[in-house]
Amino acid sequence: MNERDSETIAGLLEQMGYVAAERGSIAAGGGCTELKDGEAGGGAAGSDGIVMKGGETAGLRAAKDGETGRFAAAAGFEDADVIVVNTCSVRENADNRFFGLLGHIKHVKMRRPDVIVAVCGCMMQQGHIVDKIREKHAWVDLIFGTHNIDALPGLIEEVLARRSEEPAVSVLPERVSMAEGLPAKRRYSFKASVNIMYGCNNYCTYCIVPYTRGREISRDTYSILAEVRELAAAGTKEILLLGQNVNSYAGGAADFADLITMVDKVPGIKRIRFMTSHPKDLSDKLIERFSAAGTSRAESLCPSIHLPIQSGSSRILELMNRHYTKEGYIRLVEKLRAARPDIVISTDFIVGFPGEDEEDFEHTMDVIERVRFDAAFTFLYSPRTGTPAAEYDDPTPPEIKQKRFDRMVKRLNEITLEINRTYVGTVHDVLVEGPSKTDPSMLSGRTFGNKLVNFPAPPDCVAAAAPIGTPLLAMTGVIVPVRITSVNVD
């Protein structure tokens, strides 16, 4: 969600005349345990994506050309005219990272008082964070929240006109209307995230999202389809439908399963993914969209699902307010695999939730053996101020939690490797995302089931692309068949 918001912020800045600065990264980490894209947004008009450990922060930069009055590219914080820090508050450490980053930016502001520093995102929806900024970082020019990103141009104009010693603050408690048709500076041309809903009604006891992102509100079905059509016309092949709990989408003309069918019919869209699914709302109707055959099948729906379980203990799931049991979750997996045997299933686990005992943890290990997840994001529980679980008694010593965590991760990795080994010798269509991050001489992409594949560029493609000088980049966005020859855990 944060990544998509950053794309919108970047688009709004671009519309104001700002131009992209380089992208950067402070640190890596998850946001909501249910949103794991892990890639920061921006990449645009004065935009830069920065990911912070334990939370996601995208900073946007822009610089103004003194002669023309237009904004030109800035090399980074040092010569930017606008710095926007887009925060995520899901994990405790995100606060520390954010305030550490503000410390860096302060040096720039002290040297160049004219630079506009804005902070936004879900941290700003928490009163104690805003108070702390006003008290200790009053040099920040603008604080705005998650519900009024569309107001950014006006807010920046206000800051420019007023230039006060105090930050301007514009944080709304709830989203009052759905701003449609906002510009976006997309990070990729071949794949795009499309928000279908905002907020969450679930109030999992460890999670801050319902308090910072507000209650669920779904976008109008036809607005979503118009955005998808526009993206497809511009060459986007893969759509990621985004929401905190996409399974409860209710956009007027469609439920989530129907929305997938509608997106599936948009010419040019080859792959549909979605994130994130709450197990309690995963319907049989949606599972039918995955089916290997039949009239309900959605051809472009990728056979992969991120289905966070969090714990294998029904007792802990109740304490988490998750509204499903261990056995109920396993039944869902069985249904998914009956519909689509090759479906790739990933999940989230939180280890060390307050009150988790040995028996609870053994239930988690049992689920791992029975489900055999393709991949899992694993977290040691850390309390979030303002959530019910932060007040729960937590008698388990940290070293016991760490032992459980290590044991779980080891077994998850073994299973991932065992599953991945079954891919050796098979051929998969891979959507090329560009040069590999670990070996720039290789290409990197994703299978239909979302497995990451690194491979050498096919010689004929290199030869065909050679005249434009960047054969690996030229392959970006192309779908190619790749034979898997070796595997690892990632």
Cβ 197 to ligand SF4 shortest distance, Å: 11
**Cβ proximity to ligand SF4, 86 vs 170, nearer residue:** 86
**Cβ proximity to ligand SF4, 62 vs 197, nearer residue:** 197
Cβ 271 to ligand SF4 shortest distance, Å: 24
Cβ 350 to ligand SF4 shortest distance, Å: 9
Within 234-349, residue ranges assigned H as helices are 256-264, 284-289, 314-319, 326-339
Q: What is the dihedral of CA 214, 385, 329, 286, to 10 degrees?
A: 20
**Cβ proximity to ligand SF4, 75 vs 203, nearer residue:** 203
φ/ψ of residue 131, rounded to 5? -60, -40
Q: Could you give the CA distance from residue 303 to residue 449 in angstroms, rounded to a whole number?
A: 5
Cβ 280 to ligand SF4 shortest distance, Å: 9
Cβ 379 to ligand SF4 shortest distance, Å: 11
Cβ 120 to ligand SF4 shortest distance, Å: 19
User: HSE-up of 250 (CA within 13 Å, CB side)?
Assistant: 7
**Cβ proximity to ligand SF4, 204 vs 412, nearer residue:** 204
| CB-CB contact of 92 with 116 (8 Å) | no
| CB-CB contact of 30 with 97 (8 Å) | no
Q: Could you give the CA distance from residue 136 to residue 180 in angstroms, rounded to a whole number?
A: 36
φ/ψ of residue 157, rounded to 5? -60, -40
214-238 in b/e form (b: 16+ CB < 10 A) is bebbbbebebbbebbeebbeeebbb
With tokens 């992409």, the residue in question is 445
Give residues in contact with ligand SF4 (CB under 6 A). 32-34, 200, 202-204, 207, 209-210, 244-245, 278
Closest CA to 27 of 134, 104, 131, 118: 104
| CB-CB contact of 124 with 87 (8 Å) | yes
Helix, coil or strand: residue 164: coil
**Cβ proximity to ligand SF4, 210 vs 458, nearer residue:** 210
Cβ 121 to ligand SF4 shortest distance, Å: 15
With tokens 């290990």, the residue in question is 365
Q: Could you give the CA distance from residue 291 to residue 313 in angstroms, rounded to a whole number?
A: 29
DSSP 8-state secondary structure symbol assigned to residue 76: S
**Cβ proximity to ligand SF4, 77 vs 353, nearer residue:** 353
Cβ 308 to ligand SF4 shortest distance, Å: 7
Cβ 200 to ligand SF4 shortest distance, Å: 3
Helix, coil or strand: residue 362: helix
Q: Could you give the CA distance from residue 467 to residue 139 in angstroms, rounded to a whole number?
A: 51
**Cβ proximity to ligand SF4, 202 vs 420, nearer residue:** 202
**Cβ proximity to ligand SF4, 183 vs 355, nearer residue:** 355
**Cβ proximity to ligand SF4, 32 vs 317, nearer residue:** 32
**Cβ proximity to ligand SF4, 148 vs 248, nearer residue:** 248
Residue type, 264: D
Cβ 392 to ligand SF4 shortest distance, Å: 16
Cβ 213 to ligand SF4 shortest distance, Å: 7
Cβ 79 to ligand SF4 shortest distance, Å: 38
Helix, coil or strand: residue 42: coil
Query: Residue 424 burial by CB count (10 A; 0-12/13-18/19+): exposed, middle or buried?
Result: exposed
By DSSP bridging, strand 238-242 and strand 271-275 are parallel
Token output for 326: 């261990």
Planar angle of CA 431, 435, 438, nearest 5 degrees: 115
**Cβ proximity to ligand SF4, 2 vs 245, nearer residue:** 245
**Cβ proximity to ligand SF4, 150 vs 281, nearer residue:** 281
Q: In what order do the strands lie in the sheet with 191-195?
A: 191-195, 238-242, 271-275
